[in-house]
A and B are shown apart, each in its own frame.
Chain A
Amino acid sequence: MSVTTTPPITVGHRQQPSSPPPGSNYLNARRGIMSWLITLDHKRIALLYLFGVLGAYFLGGVFALLVRLELFTPSPVLAGSSEKAWELYNHMFTLHGAVMVFLFIIPAIPAIIGNFVLPLMLGAKDLAFPRINLASFYFWLAGGLFFTYVLIKGVLNFTFPVLETIWGPGGLDTGWTFYTPYSTTLTQTAVVEATLGAFILGFASILTGVNFIASIHTLRPKGMTWFRMPLFLWSLYATSIIMILATPVLAITLLLLAAERVLGVGIFDPNMGGDPILYQHFFWFYSHPAVYIMVLPALGILSELISVFSRKHIFGYKFIAISSLAIAFIGFLVWGHHMFVSGQSPLANAIFSLLTFFVAVPSAIKTFNWLATMHKGSISLKTPMVYALLTIFLFVVGGLTGLFLGAINTNVHLTDTYFVVAHFHYVMMGTVLFAFLGAMYYWWPKIWGKMYNENWARIAAIVVFIGFNQTFFWQFIMGSQGMPRRYATYSTQYTRHHQFSTVGAFVMTAGLVMVLANMVHSVAVGRRAPRNPWGGNSLEWHTPSPPTTFNFDRTPYAGDPYNYDHWRYVSEEEGYVYDPPDSDDEDITRP
């Protein structure tokens, strides 16, 4: 299809040191703000998402720092009177959780990295539905604006209490879980606006999932069978399935919640014949699988990075691919482990606990396959690989502590303590953030056509890692000693733990500022990136950095994505150059 007359694109290609001529790639193909705001190019939409999501991350990060500041001492820090400080604290941890979960972690890897990389890996010109892709971004933006509105209203109400009588309650203090009946009948905050925001964000998620599934089903190029897809695509596929199946349930849950609050529909209210536990079932039916919406793409990225930087074929390809689907499937059956102490029947508890342990099997399959891939590989510790290794560590810590929470007896002791907080920060935040940063560095040259400063990037990675562990590892200890979560104050026995943790949060912030500075510096004055700086063999490395608007001059032929035999390092290019095999016509980019 689409045979063109352009010359072959890879063979013997050498990078030119000059800056790219205008119109030569997707970044400078068109000019003007509108060319970005109404773009249908998946790469530009990915960048729109990048800036939006980073904005949300900044917001959520500020809330996190405020939470840690309040916890620096048991006495009020954020405000003079304890009453005001505690109220503020409730808003801070709620908005931190809601913004980070709905606006940052869920879209981060699929909507930014996935949007950019998925069509490239498929050798396609775009996603199957470019308009829907753009619509998804604007749904995300609209949902984000709802949260911003809630936030601004809350801040203004807090500063000028008279405003609340004019335009109603603001802020949000329910926790990101919106548990009933507090959220429906008691709290005086902007629950309806926030749930509507989350509802709209659900559309963004669903549309992305529809797009990815349709693209993977129908846009795969010649030669790319299901079991020749890069593993990142498998993980995105599994993620999309979860998005499709779980998000609508959250949507209807939030609608019911809003209906209950506004109309007094009694579905979650025992006084009106409803059942508050039903809300928890609904909520966790979405929100447990949502954890895998966050984590699976991160694990897919690890599979790519570890193979490329070990210069070794991925070990156990089919097992890793199937394990993604297995995690997605089992993930739908374990939501009750969030409700062990909710009064759920002991039989249900036992079943949910057992099923929860099953999740460990595919997770361990992945981990062992990564280790086996690295075994006897020639590992190069470039920044993406550094992040990959750190991510494995965090994932293992998060996963193993999950066993304590999956077991009913220890769960009863640890539930609603800082142990839980530490656990899910390791799994959701540690794993996802580190894999996300690794992916950003890995595809950075492809996105911007610029290299970053390798040494500073590595140093920043270590600083972030130290800060992260300093913040959260101590919380395991605090939690096992009984420090409850979501409390603004605590008995003095925990003072040192909390202070250590707060300092860690600021260390991590410093590391992230270094990451950001490096990236800004790279875009501004970075060295021009070669087509393939790392020697990967998935299709995105077969096209220039940055790619043209339509990605490929011709529909490429896909071989084994983990076969690196034909990429040769050329030092004057500072990157890899493709040496097409002579006889084996399966592995070349051919017309």
Chain B
Amino acid sequence: MSDSDTPHHDGGHGHDGHDHPANLAHHFDSPRQQFDAAKVGMWVFLATEILMFGGLFCAYAVWRANHPEVFLAAHKKLDMTLGLINTIILITSSFTMAWAVRAAQLNQQRLLVILLSLTIAGGCGFLVVKTFEYSDKWDKGLWVGTKNLFNPRYEEPSDREANQAPGEQENQAGNESENGLGESNENTAPEMPPEMSPEETPEEASEQGPVAAPDAALQDPDENAHNDEPEVMRSAIPVPGMGPPGLSEAYSDQEVQRQETPPTPEELIAQLPDHVREKWLHQFFQVYFLMTGLHTLHVIVGIGLIGWITVRAQRGAYSSEYYTQVDLVGLYWHLVDLIWIFLFPLLYLIH
């Protein structure tokens, strides 16, 4: 037991009268009680975290059960190596974190700071790899949502313009009034997955206008009966202009501007060779970004917390007498790690 904390306090064991240890809040009787309360509170909080992610995992299960083929095909777009690297990074950082708690318990001040810094490095490394992964998906136009305003590329008309039969424009106008979504369609129509059209023969395209629109399919099921895709897949095609009309209108200005600077559709097509699979990427990546996004948010919060206790540790705030915060942040970090351990196989290792 070296120096450590509790400078204005007479020895750390004095429960005589009102003289509490420096780190002991007034409403606790003993450091032990305070530590127990904090620990119970943290475990209960972790339970809420698990339940929250549990909701997402549940949504994942439902989605995957409904569209197994989508998950099977789409996960190949993920870089398994990067995922594996991240898994190793997180497990390692969990190890250094656990060791840091031990160092605090043993009053090894320098080691504590070093281990906490290593843990932060691990968290940052995870974020760096994740950034590479996310930006790669961004470049390929794989991003969350159909009509999201964050990713201009996905909404661009890719090969569709090339395949457009003459007169389709009018058909499209007719469709717009049918689905009652008005002018917002004009801007959101290009959101349709670019992979749709190659499947259609030019004749079909000219007959039905934007065949891909499910409302067309709904109105005339027989017309689509010869379509050799399973029912469930067709029903999952994103609808042009879906979503609240009010919101689409609000974004229309920005979207018009984006269309003035179109990215190259050729690149997109080159990256998306197999259209039958590609059209489902979108769905899978909604799940992917929701789950990993929420997890990444937790990693960022965790790095912030560890940074905070590292600063405190440098000032010698922790000792074998008082290391509650190190312990609790450690628990949190392990949970973040644990969630990734589940996310990795569920998203990257689908068979």
Residues of A within 8 A of B (CB): 1-4, 124-130, 132, 168-169, 184-188, 206, 209-211, 213-215, 217-219, 244-249, 251-253, 256, 259, 261-267, 269-275, 278, 282, 550, 555
Contacts and interface: CB of A to CB of B under 8 A. Distances in A.
B27 A125 contact: yes
B244 A271 contact: no
A25 B119 CA distance: 48
A262 B41 contact: no
Contacts of B238: 264, 266, 271-272
A124 B27 contact: yes
Contact of B244 (A1, A186, A213): A186
B44 A265 contact: no
Interface stretch (B29-37, B104-112, B337-345): B29-37
B146 A266 contact: yes
B258 interface: no
B26 A259 contact: no
Nearest to B245: A188
Pairs A-B, 4 closest by C-beta atoms: A273-B236, A263-B145, A252-B55, A248-B52
Most chain B beta-carbon neighbours within 10 Å: one of A168, A219, A265, A270: A265
A282 B59 CA distance: 9
A202 to B, nearest CB: 9
B144 A263 contact: yes
Contacts of B55: 248-249, 251-253, 256, 282
A261 B51 contact: no
B48 A244 contact: yes
Given A210-B45, A219-B37, A252-B56, A272 B236 contact: yes
Given A1-B29, A256-B55, 15 more contacts: A128-B41, A211-B41, A217-B37, A244-B44, A244-B47, A245-B51, A248-B51, A252-B52, A264-B148, A264-B242, A271-B235, A272-B242, A273-B66, A273-B67, A278-B59
B214 A271 contact: yes
Nearest to A549: B26
Contacts of A251: 52, 55
B196 to A, nearest CB: 14
Contact of A213 (B17, B44, B53, B58): B44
Nearest to B215: A271
B59 A267 contact: yes
Given A272-B239, A274-B63, A550 B15 contact: no
B40 A259 contact: no
B128 interface: no
A168 to B, nearest CB: 7
A214 B37 contact: yes
A261 B44 contact: no
A217 B232 CA distance: 51
B133 interface: no
A550 B28 CA distance: 11
Nearest to B16: A3
A187 B244 contact: yes
Contacts of A282: 55, 58-59
Contacts of B49: 248
B40 A213 contact: yes
A209 to B, nearest CB: 7
A273 B242 contact: no
A130 B27 contact: yes
Contacts of A184: 243-244
A123 to B, nearest CB: 11
A211 to B, nearest CB: 7
Given A185-B244, A188-B246, A256-B59, A1 B52 contact: no
A306 B51 CA distance: 36
A272 B36 contact: no
Contacts of B247: 261-262
A218 B40 contact: yes
B148 A168 contact: no
B85 interface: no
B298 to A, nearest CB: 13
B246 A168 contact: yes
Given A214-B41, A265-B290, A249 B243 contact: no
A557 B243 CA distance: 62
Contacts of A555: 29
A264 B44 contact: no
A90 to B, nearest CB: 16
Nearest to A274: B63
A102 B195 CA distance: 45
B101 interface: no
Contacts of A218: 33, 36-37, 40
B54 interface: yes
Given A249-B54, A269-B242, A256 B29 contact: no
B286 interface: yes
19 contacts: A1-B15, A4-B18, A130-B25, A132-B41, A185-B244, A188-B244, A206-B48, A210-B41, A213-B41, A218-B36, A218-B40, A219-B33, A244-B51, A245-B48, A249-B54, A266-B146, A266-B283, A278-B59, A282-B55
Nearest to B287: A267
Contacts of A247: 48
B40 A217 contact: yes
A251 B26 CA distance: 34
A4 B47 CA distance: 39
A264 B145 contact: yes
A1 B27 CA distance: 11
B200 to A, nearest CB: 19
B305 to A, nearest CB: 15
A182 to B, nearest CB: 10
A128 B37 contact: yes
A359 to B, nearest CB: 21
Contacts of A128: 27, 37-38, 40-41
B75 interface: no
B18 A2 contact: yes
B329 to A, nearest CB: 16
A579 B283 CA distance: 72
B270 interface: no
A219 to B, nearest CB: 7
B70 interface: yes
Interface string B1-37: 0000000000000010110000001110110010011
Contacts of B17: 2-4
B253 to A, nearest CB: 13
Contacts of A272: 146, 236-239, 242, 283
A264 B40 CA distance: 39
A185 B238 CA distance: 13
A445 B145 CA distance: 56
A69 to B, nearest CB: 29
B62 interface: yes
A259 B283 CA distance: 14
Nearest to B246: A188
A214 B235 contact: no
B250 interface: yes
Contact of B52 (A168, A249, A259): A249
Contacts of B41: 128-129, 132, 210-211, 213-214
B141 to A, nearest CB: 15
Nearest to B48: A248
Contacts of A3: 17
A263 B55 CA distance: 19
B147 interface: yes
B242 A271 contact: yes
Contacts of A219: 27, 33, 37
Contact of B147 (A211, A263, A273, A274): A263
Contacts of A244: 44, 47-48, 51
A507 B66 CA distance: 52
Contact of A261 (B37, B53, B243, B250): B243
A269 B283 CA distance: 11
A153 to B, nearest CB: 13
Interface string B209-249: 00000100000000000000000100111110011111100
B195 to A, nearest CB: 15
Contacts of B52: 248-249, 251-252
